[in-house]
Amino acid sequence: MLRALDIRGFVLIEESSIDFGDGFTVLTGETGAGKSMLVDAIELLVGGRGDAAAVRGGAERAELAAEFDVDPKGALAAWLAERDLSGDPGQVILRRTVDGSGRSRCFINGHAATLAQLKEAGEYLVDIHGQHLHQSLLRAAAQRELLDAQAGAEPLASDARNSYRDWKRLEAIAAEAQKNYAAREAERAEIQDRVTELKRISPVEGEWERVAAEHSLLQHGSSLLAGAQSALEALTESEGAALAQLSAVASRLRALSAHDARLGPIVELVESAAAQAGEAVRELRHYASRVDLDPDALRAVEERIEALHAAARRHRVRPEDLPQRHAELEKRLAELELAVDPEALQREVAAARLRYEAAAKKLTARRQHGAQALSKAVTAGMQQLAMAGGRFEVLLKKLDEPGAAGAEEVEFQVASHPSLPLRPLARVASGGELSRISLAIQMVAAKASPVGTLVFDEVDAGIGGSVAETIGRALRSLGKERQVLCVTHLPQVAANGDQQWLVVKSASRGKVNVQASLLNRAARIEELARMLGGSESTARKHAAELLDAG
């Protein structure tokens, strides 16, 4: 649930903070006051598109932050933990900045995040239903996506899409193989030779770095050992060795410090140097005992380095990239071996088609079940929105040729009156009817959504009267199950809110600003009266009645 929203330097908002409560919250104000700007801010925080236009004139950047309460043991908490993005238990804080050049930075619980991660986290938190959704619902693709989301068919749709692509890819390879058999056979033979060579060498990941380091040690073994022994001699074995000299100096200074205490710290420094020199002697002796002077090992490593170098030159890659090149060639060889074996290739194509058909069949079954449920739920919603006897049906039309989206086309059909036949949603003539049908669909979608916060941005456009009261009650009822935020211009809807924020646009010193304030009962009556219009006394009375009825 969205607890707090902080906005700075965003479009026309200089600075604004809103603390949201449970239940049903309405945002009202004059037309053009900037109500939808708050929805835009929320959308930007959950991964929406942002550019330089988001930055308020005169500001360096737009800064947005939102605090959400979440289930500490829920799916989002697990998702955050997997990506090291966790914060305080039961809380998620999203933050996003957009600078004047349009560059955006995203943060989740104070951790830097990608825009994709912000968007994915947002899908757990907020479901936004915009005022123009009914326009997108006229598109066949949007109708199909909504049905899949409602039916829980999205994973099946993804499987069908991937299976279709695999099938068509193999089909393309088969068609190309028929045309280019000779060329592919020549390529296959060449790659076979390369793979055979690399198999003989068998380069492994990380080997080049290991043998290079080993070669350096073996190649410089003599000089390393000589250097270690020379250092040992200088420190402890030669006449006037440094360690003996340090010990002698420490001893003399220790005796003198009895007469002058100022020598004490100096004695400690010399004794420390003697101790460290002694430790160095022990480590040098241990090191010298492990220096490898094996000429056979050096020769073997040099031969391996030369073999890797020669292979890397022939394949035009760096020696460390040989394992990756080997894998790429083996994959290409497998494809070419299929291509030069038409029967094997056709078997692969047939198997891929069967996989797709099985995936598409599962998807169809899920869509059929979901279509029935969605048709029934939206039809019920239409009865509440002054469309008594209206019907909604999700039609699945089998395609002559199945595609990546499945074996059927999804079409929303509606009849706004019992006397009318079902027609495609795109052919509904009345804008008001389209708005009500769209709202009925969105209400069903919202109830099915698992997220804690539902945002409706003027989805009640084109609706009024008793229908508006019905919508208000429906949204308030939905608010008992989920947090609901609604931008509205309808007093009947606003009166049903558990809390109401007034959005006001003002100008000062040539600058425009948008602010939001929480209304008490008296202020709500004044705002509802403004929304109702008419004479002041009559509007106030009606406003109070609406508020009491809500």
Residue 140: its H or E element: helix 140-151
Q: What is the 3-state secondary structure (H, E, C) of 491-542?
A: HHHHCCCCEEEEEEEEEECCEEEEEEEECCHHHHHHHHHHHHCCCHHHHHHH
174 Cβ contact list (under 8 Å, min separation 6): 339, 342, 345, 346, 349
Q: Is residue 4 part of a domain?
A: no
Residue 293 has pLDDT above 60, yes or no: no
Q: pLDDT per residue over 126-163, tens digit each?
A: 888 765 555 567 788 888 988 998 899 999 999 999 99
Q: pLDDT per residue over 156-188, tens digit each?
A: 999 999 999 999 999 988 887 777 676 777 788
Q: Is residue 289 part of a domain?
A: yes
Q: Is residue 172 part of a domain?
A: yes
Q: pLDDT per residue over 323-376, tens digit each?
A: 888 888 888 888 777 756 677 788 899 999 999 999 999 999 999 999 999 999
Q: Find, among 89, 126, 97, 94, the residue nearest to 111 by Cα.
A: 94
Q: Is residue 302 part of a domain?
A: yes
Q: How many helices (H) and strands (E) does the chain have?
A: 19, 15
Q: How far apart are CA 457 and CA 468, in angstroms?
A: 15
474 Cβ contact list (under 8 Å, min separation 6): 384, 443
Q: How far apart are CA 215 and CA 205, in angstroms?
A: 17
Q: What is the DSSP string of 80-126?
A: HHHTT---STTEEEEEEEEETT--EEEEETTEEE-HHHHHHHHHHHE
Query: CA angle 439-443-444, nearest 5°?
Result: 120
Q: Find, among 387, 385, 383, 409, the residue nearest to 396 by Cα.
A: 409
Residue 459 has pLDDT above 70, yes or no: no
Give 297's pLDDT tier (boundaries 50, 70, 90).
low
Q: How far apart are CA 471 and CA 308, in angstroms?
A: 73
Helix (H, G, I), strand (E, B) or coil at 131: coil
**Any idea which of 23-27, 130-134, 475-479 has the lowest mean pLDDT?**
130-134
pTM (2 d.p.): 0.58
Q: Is residue 523 part of a domain?
A: no
**Any idea which of 21-25, 104-108, 499-503, 533-537 has the lowest mean pLDDT?**
533-537
Q: Is residue 265 part of a domain?
A: yes
Q: pLDDT per residue over 88-102, tens digit each?
A: 999 999 999 999 888
* pLDDT, average across residues 29-49: 87
Q: Is residue 346 part of a domain?
A: yes
Q: Is residue 406 part of a domain?
A: no
Q: For the chain, how many structural domains are there in total?
A: 1
- Percent of the chain at pLDDT > 90 equals 29
In the chain, % helix, strand, coil (3-state, to 5) comes to 60, 20, 20
User: Greater confidence, 28 or 249?
Assistant: 28
Boundaries of domain holding 190: 157-361
Q: pLDDT per residue over 411-427, tens digit each?
A: 999 998 888 899 998 78
The tokens for 288 are 């010298």
What's the mean pLDDT when you consider all of the chain?
84
